[in-house]
Structure 1
Amino acid sequence: MSTHSHQNIHSRLSAAGLLLTLGIIYGDIGTSPLYVMKSIIDDNKIDSYLILGGLSCIFWTLTLQTTLKYVIIVLNADNHGEGGIFSLYSLVKRTKIHWLIVPAIIGGSLLLAEGIITPPISVSSAVEGLLIFKPDIPTIPIVIAILFILFSIQQFGAKLVTKFFSPIMLVWFSMLGVLGIIQISQNIEVLKAINPYYAYKLLTSSQSGHGFFILGAVFLCTTGAESLYSDMGHCGRRNIRISWIFVKSTLLLNYFGQGAYLMMHQGKALAELNDNNPNPFYLIMADWFQPIGIVVATLAAIIASQALISGSFTLINEAMRLNFWPKVKINYPTDVKGQLYIPSINWLLFIGCVGIILYFKESKYMEHAYGMSIILGMMMTTTLLNFYLIMKRVKWYFIVPIITIYGIIEISFLTANITKFMEGGYVTIVIAIFLISVMTTWFLAKKISKSYTKIVKIENYKKVLAELSVDLSIPKYATHLIYMTNSQRTDEIEEKVMYSILQKRPKRADLYWFIHVNVLSEPYKKEYKVTEIIKDDIYRIDFYLGFREPTKINLMFKQVIKEMVDRGEVDITSRYESLSKNHIIGDFKFVLSEKFLSNDGDLTFFEKVVMNTYFIMKKLSLSEEKGFGLDSSSVKVEQFPLVLHPPENIEMKRIENDHH
């Protein structure tokens, strides 16, 4: 994709684009009216003080956190059209501040943890509407069945489903708005809540059940902001900004509608209004409309989950390319750009979702686990954003107030959420810590193994390779012998590659190829460069691939050779006389090296622990050949110790024979 078409996706505005945006991006934030007001009132008696204060908090949270921070500021931080925490990290990586990898890894892990908890909470909240009609209906099996179907259809690509998504979300948001307007028209007074004074009064009051900690519940209204940024590449910035006006209006109308309804029932607890399902979201509907409302809400909840699942696939794909995650199998179910399906992650998420449902059972208990992971994730984005603004040379008098305001808001939200830690918040933190440790181990192991890899100059081996190539006393190993190399410079190669060619069993070949893959910090690009080291003998190819491009080395390499032959740069006819007469192409053999930990290593204790964990993870992940997309019939895998030691010099004393 050229930069031109990137600007294009962000400046293009169309009815279809706006509709698509509704379907892809707003599922998560759009389903929050299902549980926010219920969570704010909780077990308290309804009073105007709590309602107006709560609504005021919601209004200002959506305005400051979602609109100003994400829709206006963060959406500007796009990496060639793509958004999300790893894209942001790829941008700030250029500042060469090494610790920025920490917020990137924590933020990425928390987003994945969110992917495990959003589907259960939104689908449960919707399905629990059925309790109004049949109080003893078992909701858990219904929720699990819905999620199982959702995760099963992932493999066919979201193209199949997205056709229905956008119209349903349009119906959903319109329904939210209309239900809200009906209630507000009966109690206009509720609009006073726009005044931030009510929020201030509620947060500073010390009455039991109110006060500062209500922010933990309020915070749930901004849940989808992070995924709104991650999905920017699918919809374009302008489409998101324009459609957000509609979405935010309908959300606020619905919240205020719920508030208007509750203000008319002051002094009661929610359970007194309806003991089967005391959710103000359903209470503001006319009785005849409730069944329709439940169906639409359930569909909207499924769509919200879908957005997070496909977001998780993109996230893991980027993590793999940035060396944060073991190589796993990726399928490309449709030809839509950026559409991918990762079976292992899909089923891991599903198992995680089922675990959450069985553990918490009801949506109101899941809320505790929810807020914690999201607020920490947002703080990581704020940290990276700070460095992005500095890197973009934004004036300090803009940066300081922005970062200070969001620092204060997010630390307040965090403090309010910490009280929920023991009530379930620890669940997401445990999940996130597990993910963080996988990412950290993988990243560190790659770093350690790089620091122990010895690099040598090719120059010193040119002569011996040229002679080996024509030494007929050694049986030919392959016509084309191909090594993958990690060496950044074209005139250098790992020592173990030379060791493999010359020492293990001398491998005679007509042509030696060294291939290096560079992962770029932009999403889509496919370029290559050829370096001729010895004419018709040794070549090096460098591939430059975007961090969202699939690595299909087999196909790419054949394509490069075909182009080189067409340009007359290389002769690949077999050099066996009988075959070359008939213009038969020689065979290709890839040699990959697998490292193992030898006992006589020089690693520190910490490095050994990291490397041992890494090798266990490696056994579970994709093999190198599959990761590079190679055909296994033409691959030889060799084992090397992580550190190649020179042979030790053992001192021995020779005893002379005595001549008597």
Structure 2
Amino acid sequence: MAESRQRESSHTANQSTQSEEQKADERMRETLLKADTFTNAPKVSRKTTTKEEREVIAKQQEEEHKEAEKLAKTATKGAIGRWWTRVQSGPNKVTFTMAIVALGVVYGDIGTSPLYTMQTFLNGQGGIQHADREAILGVLSLVFWSITLITTVKYVLIAMRIDNKGEGGIFALYSLIRKYGAWLAIPAMLGGAAFLADSVLTPAVSISSAVEGLKTIPVFEPLFREDANLTMIITAVIILLLFSVQSRGTESIGRVFGSIVMVWFAFLAVVGVFNLGNDWSVFAALNPVYGIRFLFSPHNAAGIALMGTVFLSTTGAEALYSDMGHVGRGNIYFTWPFIKVALVFNYFGQGAWMLRNQHNPALENVDSLNPFFQMMSPGVRYIAVALSVTAGIIASQALITGAFTMVAEATGLNWMPHLQVRYPARTRGQLYIPVVNGVLCVSTLAVLFLFRDSEHISAAYGLALTITMITTTVLLAVYMWYNRHKVGAIVFSIVFLSIQIMFFIASMAKFMHGGWFTMLLTLLILMIMVTWNDGTKIERSQRRHMKRKDFLPALEKLHGDFRIPYFADNIVYLTSDSEMKRLDTDIFFSIFADHPKRARAWWAVSVQTTDEPFTREYSVEDFGTDYLFRVKIRLGFKVSQSIPAYIHQIMHDLEHTGELPQQKSQYPKLDADPGVGTIKYVLIHKALMPESTISQRGALSLQMKYAIRHAAGSPVKWFGLAPYNPLIEVQPLFLSTRRPPRLKREANNLRQIESSEDVLALTKSSTKSAASKETKDAKETKASAKAESQAAKSGGAKPAAKPAGGAKQSVAKPQAAKPSAVKPAANQASKQAKPTTQHHPGKAGGVSKQTGSGHHGGEK
């Protein structure tokens, strides 16, 4: 009984095992069936937008509809309502969300200036005990009028009215006036390079100065005393975190930072008003006479260098202009009054505190006295340090955001290599460039580890930014001059150039104390811009286009030449050329150079980025053929450049319309896309030949451009071609070349010639002109033929063949060691072989030309 139960259980177990194996086999067959019909071809959706994009568009349209309804109601509420409606309907539109973003993105740099401006002033005067009422009112007057003239008047009221499709900054300004003179590129490049160099120092000086405020708190003071590098370590960690969140976009960052900055500026205003107390006499500094009098007073211990200190209060002014495209002009107009009032109250509050504590003996021996922290009670100082650290981070954000914008604009001007750009937000102005983010992060950490603390970093800070302000003033004056404001341009130039040149001279005092580093960075970035621009100009000057009648016959002949196997069914050239009706000679040269690249169809494809976020369009020119196509793809700035997928779609579309013949793969189950033949992508890079006749500067520019391009990354990644093994083809620049001297054959290398007379005769023969050689050969050939004809008629022996080309026949000398019958035969063969080549001195590369042949380097 037990045995039968055991047999039954074992039988049941076997059945269950077999059933599991059968199910596994079925799953395997099902998996194999799916894999057999699998295709990894890049595909596109039937719809021109994704679900997420449609949701974004619908949300945006709904917001616009609600805004329109709200404005319609506002317009009915009197004159103020009509004015607000006009503002919201124009380019100066204000939204609460973007106003908060503006606070976080734009004002961070200028918001940290109260942390160190007055501290630098006291250090320059020798301490608070040497800063009398005249000095304090004088520096407050200079600070107030510098903020008013430079930030408010120049940038907010004048510069921000001059934009390029909503974008601000020195490069956008240059794009508007570049038609007025090629020399304008020099100040534009110099100003942009200085701004980018200053973007490296701003995070280091802002964050480190804020972190050093922790030393003033009694609880943390022992920690910083034990470890001198603790400040540097904390600063490095904050910098790494700041750069790591840049990929999320300035909109998400700005919303968080904006709320904090609003609290920060409110804190600045409250602390300043509190320290004013009931003594409002400090506002006498609003009179500019106090500032001018103290600047040239013998009591000014810093001299003209005082203007370098005053300039620190305006360091964030350029960021307002460069970040305009990120947040909108109207939002900056709306928020600036609040920012300026808060800054003025804080500066004047520090001034009132200094006046009250001028003779305080407890402060005379304080090293690097900072009025910003000292004017607060110990309890409030905790909040001040926490907010100042955050403000330092936000200050860095303003410069990082401006750097992204400047690099993108420089790329559009062909002053920098094309880098991968991402747009995390809905607006094109909010962008993220991974390479630039990484370079800025590494450079900022290098500055931090090189200078170690804010005192040494601040010595280099601000010098480069004075150059940017001067160049911006020059370009603004040019714009005003050519736009019917010549008198205004003259007044504008005199006023602002005089002030900013004074700032520059004062800042040059920092050169030996760290300013050299900023200038070195500026020159390095300027060199990249200049060399890339020069190299691009040289390359474009060599670009040539062919008309249809010049390239179509050759392509048609190659297309039908069945002796040549297909290089690929489709050859796709990625090009930056925007010409649609003609063909770039680089592509034509690539097709026919060396081994001709025969294909069923050739494609020249260019990609253009539009200002709209979700554009997906293309246009095609077929030149009246079914084998040559010029394609222009237009993609929105937020659309991923999945070029292979779009190429497949275009091919299928043209097959459907009959413009492209059907291409069926011979191995449909192994091919990625059975409906389209094989595709080979080709990218053409230029190379400079050693024999090119080009100036040393031009050659250096090209070599540096190619080195920068190699370091910046390949277009293969930009276009999404990495998985498709594209062909990177290097072509020479079509520049005129020098002809090197002709090679001379060594005398001991000549075969079957043993006397010096024979060598001399051959050398003389090889240096004769081509015309005389061909004439003599023709005569000798005709005479030989005539002699043979006469001998044939007379029945005589056929004469020996006479060497052509006028070569002298050498007489063999009998030698004992060799049979005399052998050497004449060898000599005869040598003589018969010599006439096949004529040497032409002066031909490029010493190439020999064959008699009666149109090909170089071949045999007759």
TM-score, with length taken from structure 2: 0.70
Match of 1:398 in 2: 488
Aligned letter for 1:287? P
Match of 2:348 in 1: 256
Deviation at 1:435, TM superposition (A): 0.8
Show CA shifts across 1:218-270 (max 9, x none): 0111111111111111211111011000000000000000000001122569x
Q: Which moved more, 1:56-65 or 1:322-331?
A: 322-331
Given the alignment, which residue of 608, 627, 651 partners 2:699?
A: 608
Given the alignment, which residue of 141, 148, 156 partners 1:56?
A: 141
CA contact (8 A) 1:79 1:523 kept: no
Match of 2:211 in 1: 127
- What SS does the corresponding residue of 2:572 show, helix, strand or coil? strand
Deviation at 1:512, TM superposition (A): 1.8
- CA separation in 1, counterparts of 2:184 and 2:632? 28
Show CA shifts across 1:545-582 (max 9, x none): 7999876644555565566567x373363066897xx9
Q: Which moved more, 1:548-557 or 1:11-20?
A: 548-557
Q: Which moved more, 1:650-659 or 1:237-246?
A: 650-659
- What SS does the corresponding residue of 1:368 show, helix, strand or coil? helix
Q: What is the 5 A alignment of 1:274-353?
A: 275=366, 278-332=369-423, 337-353=428-444
Aligned letter for 1:433? L
Match of 2:164 in 1: 79
Deviation at 1:120, TM superposition (A): 1.2
Q: What is the 5 A alignment of 1:394-543?
A: 394-485=484-575, 487=577, 489-517=579-607, 529-542=619-632
* Identical positions, percent: 34
- CA separation in 1, counterparts of 2:236 and 2:665? 63
Deviation at 1:273, TM superposition (A): 5.6
Distance 1:225 1:411, change over 3 A: same
- What SS does the corresponding residue of 2:567 show, helix, strand or coil? strand
Distance 1:588 1:221, change over 3 A: same
Aligned letter for 2:662? T
- What SS does the corresponding residue of 1:10 show, helix, strand or coil? coil
Match of 1:205 in 2: 297
CA contact (8 A) 2:427 2:613 kept: no
Given the alignment, which residue of 15, 18, 22 partners 2:103?
A: 22
Match of 2:245 in 1: 153
- CA separation in 2, counterparts of 1:527 and 1:226? 37
| Bigger RCO (CA 8 Å, 6+ sep) | 1
- What SS does the corresponding residue of 2:662 show, helix, strand or coil? coil
- CA separation in 2, counterparts of 1:493 and 1:644? 19
* 2:683 counterpart of 1:599: no
- CA separation in 1, counterparts of 2:278 and 2:652? 74
Distance 1:142 1:205, change over 3 A: same
CA contact (8 A) 1:490 1:540 kept: yes
Given the alignment, which residue of 568, 571, 576 partners 2:660?
A: 571
- CA separation in 1, counterparts of 2:731 and 2:605? 19
- What SS does the corresponding residue of 1:292 show, helix, strand or coil? helix
Deviation at 1:96, TM superposition (A): 4.6
Q: Which moved more, 1:324-333 or 1:423-432?
A: 324-333
Match of 2:155 in 1: 70
- CA separation in 2, counterparts of 1:104 and 1:525? 31
CA contact (8 A) 2:613 2:639 kept: yes
- CA separation in 1, counterparts of 2:490 and 2:120? 33
- CA separation in 2, counterparts of 1:513 and 1:42? 68
- What SS does the corresponding residue of 2:557 show, helix, strand or coil? helix
Match of 2:202 in 1: 118
Deviation at 1:89, TM superposition (A): 1.8
Aligned letter for 2:259? P
Distance 1:575 1:550, change over 3 A: closer
CA contact (8 A) 1:26 1:224 kept: yes
Q: Which moved more, 1:356-365 or 1:517-526?
A: 517-526
Aligned letter for 1:408? S
Aligned letter for 2:565? P
Show CA shifts across 1:41-65 (max 9, x none): 2242221111101110111111110
Q: Which moved more, 1:10-19 or 1:642-651?
A: 642-651
Given the alignment, which residue of 269, 273, 278 partners 1:177?
A: 269
Show CA shifts across 1:135-176 (max 9, x none): 461422221221122122334444553332111101100000
Aligned letter for 1:573? Q
Match of 1:620 in 2: 711
Match of 2:132 in 1: 47
Aligned letter for 1:68? V
* 2:184 counterpart of 1:100: yes
> Is there any run of 5+ residues in structure 2 with no aligned partner, and where?
1-56, 65-86, 225-229, 743-768, 778-802, 810-827, 832-860
- CA separation in 2, counterparts of 1:565 and 1:237? 48
- CA separation in 2, counterparts of 1:157 and 1:323? 25
- CA separation in 1, counterparts of 2:613 and 2:497? 30
- CA separation in 1, counterparts of 2:736 and 2:308? 57
- What SS does the corresponding residue of 2:326 show, helix, strand or coil? helix
- CA separation in 1, counterparts of 2:332 and 2:688? 50
- What SS does the corresponding residue of 2:603 show, helix, strand or coil? strand
Which protein has the larger Cα radius of gyration, Structure 1 or Structure 2? 2
CA contact (8 A) 2:567 2:598 kept: yes
Match of 2:326 in 1: 234
Aligned letter for 1:55? L
Aligned letter for 1:589? K
Match of 2:54 in 1: none
Show CA shifts across 1:92-137 (max 9, x none): 22x2511211122111111111111111111122111112124461
Deviation at 1:523, TM superposition (A): 11
Distance 1:524 1:222, change over 3 A: farther
Distance 1:520 1:443, change over 3 A: farther
Aligned letter for 2:358? Q
Distance 1:487 1:210, change over 3 A: closer
> Is there any run of 5+ residues in structure 1 with no aligned partner, and where?
none
Deviation at 1:487, TM superposition (A): 4.7
Aligned letter for 2:192? G
- What SS does the corresponding residue of 1:506 show, helix, strand or coil? coil
* 2:475 counterpart of 1:384: yes
Aligned letter for 2:686? K
- CA separation in 1, counterparts of 2:701 and 2:643? 29
Aligned letter for 1:163? R
Show CA shifts across 1:405-433 (max 9, x none): 11111111112212222222221111111
Aligned letter for 1:153? V
CA contact (8 A) 1:10 1:239 kept: no
- CA separation in 1, counterparts of 2:101 and 2:160? 18
Q: Which moved more, 1:620-629 or 1:197-206?
A: 620-629
Aligned letter for 1:232? M
- CA separation in 2, counterparts of 1:563 and 1:241? 49
Q: Which moved more, 1:216-225 or 1:479-488?
A: 479-488
Root mean square deviation, CA, Å: 3.3
* 2:143 counterpart of 1:143: no
- CA separation in 1, counterparts of 2:316 and 2:579? 43
- What SS does the corresponding residue of 1:481 show, helix, strand or coil? strand
TM-score, with length taken from structure 1: 0.90
- CA separation in 2, counterparts of 1:66 and 1:142? 32
Deviation at 1:362, TM superposition (A): 3.0
Q: Which moved more, 1:175-184 or 1:358-367?
A: 358-367
CA contact (8 A) 2:424 2:430 kept: yes
Distance 1:185 1:646, change over 3 A: closer
Distance 1:644 1:200, change over 3 A: closer
- CA separation in 2, counterparts of 1:588 and 1:362? 57
Distance 1:527 1:207, change over 3 A: farther
